[in-house]
Amino acid sequence: MQVVSKLRNSNKAIDNQILYNQVNERDIKMYWIEFHRKFALTYAIIVLFFIGAPLGAIIRKGGFGAPVVIAAFVFMIYFILTSIGDNLARTFVVSPFFGMWIAGISFTPIAILTTYAAANDSNIFSLESWKNAFKRKKKA
């Protein structure tokens, strides 16, 4: 009877240790999520600036309304990507790094494209410019 009691106590101690390790692992992952969130949000300010400022320079038609609508649309997409990444990281589907940086990684090429277009004074929202770009590629 004493052996059975010792075995039960040992099993309970092992179960408690497993639970303790799981809680520690979750806390460590939550720490990394918050760590990456701080830097990803800082980076988002820079990326969204390099999207918004060139868009303001590129979009001349439509007065005040068109740039505001496009800015709101860009922000909604950014917010959705950030929320999806956060949820995936919190459920441990993806790493905390990727979950927090997915929006920044996705928007960096857009920021480069809009900044390049504004610096070269090109109209990236013109259907004709896209048709001409694809015609040049087919000829080459």
**Is-contact 62 127, C-beta < 8 A?**
no
Is-above-0.95 flag for pTM?
A: no
Q: Would you say 30 and 100 are in contact if contact means Cβ atoms under 8 Å apart?
A: no
For residue 60, the model assigns a pLDDT of: 67
Backbone φ and ψ for 64, nearest 5 degrees, come out as -85, -25
Calpha distance 132→70 (Å, rounded): 24
CA distance 136 to 84: 38
pLDDT of the residue at 62: 60
pLDDT score of 39:
96
Structure tokens at 69: 């609508």
Structural domain boundaries of the chain?
36-139
Q: What tens digit of pLDDT does each residue of 13-69 get?
A: 999 999 999 999 999 999 999 999 999 999 999 999 998 888 877 776 666 677 778
Do 87 and 96 contact (CB within 8 A), yes or no?
no
Backbone phi and psi for residue 24, each to the nearest 5 degrees, phi listed first:
-60, -45
Contact 34, 100 (CB under 8 A): no
